[in-house]
Amino acid sequence: MDTITLKKKLSTYQSSKGYLKNVSDEVLYEILVAWENWTGPSAEFYRSLGYTHKKMAGLIGKAKRMKREGHFGSSEFKQVHVEANDANASGSTPCTGIEIIWNEGKLIRFQDVDRLIEFLKKVA
């Protein structure tokens, strides 16, 4: 995410006295990702957001702590193995959806990819 968008998001959490209060977990995660991907000096990062390091240090520290505790989930790639059953070879109807065997052997069926993606976002 670019710093201009992040700066606008942060401005919604700024109090009348200039303090950043009640910043959402989503924005904290975006700050942390931007901070980790920043390649220049840290002072430039703070300046691009329009805040001093004193105001941002607490937010970045809180975001790091939340990441360690697992609040943001894992952003690492997870490999998924999909087995394809050749239903057409046995003469049955073609597959019209997606089936996933979930925890403890539970079978979940999705009509289309959009519903699968929506489900995966919710459980992530």
Q: What is the pLDDT of residue 101?
A: 81
Lowest mean pLDDT among 8-17, 49-58, 115-124: 115-124
Burial 39-49 (b: 16+ CB within 10 A, else e): eeeeeebbebb
Q: What average pLDDT does the segment 97-122 reach? A: 82
Question: Is the overall model pTM greater than 0.85, yes or no?
Answer: no
More confident residue, 118 or 71: 118
Does residue 91 surpass a pLDDT of 80? no
Encoded amino acid at 111, one letter = Q
Contact 119, 110 (CB under 8 A): yes
Q: What average pLDDT does the segment 18-39 reach? A: 88
Does residue 93 surpass a pLDDT of 60? no
